[in-house]
Amino acid sequence: MNERGWLLALDTATSTIVVAAGSAGGALLKADAFEGRYRHSQELLPAVVRLLERARLRLPELGGVIVGTGPGAFTGLRVGLATAKTLAHELRRPVVGIPTSEALLAGVEGATLLWLPSGPRDRLRVEPGGTPRLVPANEAGEDVAATIEKIEIAVDLEGRAPAEALARGREAVAALSVTLLRLGAARLAAGDSDDPEKLVPAYAVAPRGAPPTQADEGVAWSRDPR
């Protein structure tokens, strides 16, 4: 990677699309965040173009691409990873995938637990450095009331988690551009990058027609049929 090249960070795993530019050292230069509205394919690339114009950056000077890999919804993650890998391939730049869950946890000091949605009712439970675990809505002992003391961060779970956890979730999403850049820049500086062909998203709910589990992504699928 060109050590003087800037870095592009993308995340489409949550309901908020994050597009950010940073220095080779991971310092934030410019960022934009907006509601996805299920229009990722129409809005992501234009958002990248607007960011470059505001930051006065040029694609030929790009040093590497950082992309959040989830867990998250199918459409958003598919578009986000496809965009990141296409840019990296066309410009012959390295690409690094960072679990969005890891970046969210890193965005709140002292965070010990993250909750994410998995379908309309089920949830994913993620601890720092751990594999996301599916918690079905009807699983005994794992309802919201029983886990209030454990919940640290809750993202996209309005009405399904305590207000304090939701507030920390908003804090984590607001910091996502900074944490993605920091985590991704550290890997790139160490000469570490991902093979685009092996870089896959972690879906919170299985796409239609997919098998019930995918061990390579480390996420148990929600059994919620909706």
The amino acid sitting at 48 is: V
Cis peptide before 71 (omega within 30 of 0): yes
Residues forming a β-bridge with 220: 213
Q: For 103-124, write each residue's pLDDT tens digit.
A: 999 999 999 999 999 988 899 9
What integer best gives the mean pLDDT of the chain?
Answer: 86
pLDDT digits (tens, 9 = 90+) for 48-82: 999 999 999 999 999 999 999 999 999 899 999 99
Residue 10 has pLDDT above 70, yes or no: yes
What is the enclosing helix (H) or strand (E) of 42?
Answer: helix 40-55
Is pLDDT above 70 for 29?
Answer: yes
Token pair for 81:
């990873």
User: Does pLDDT of 217 surpass 60?
Assistant: no
Cα separation, 34 vs 36, in Å, equals 6
For range 94-105, the mean pLDDT: 97
Look up the pTM and report it: 0.87
Residues in Cβ contact with 32 at an 8 Å cutoff, skipping those fewer than 6 apart = 18, 19, 20, 47, 50, 51
For residue 72, give the DSSP letter.
B
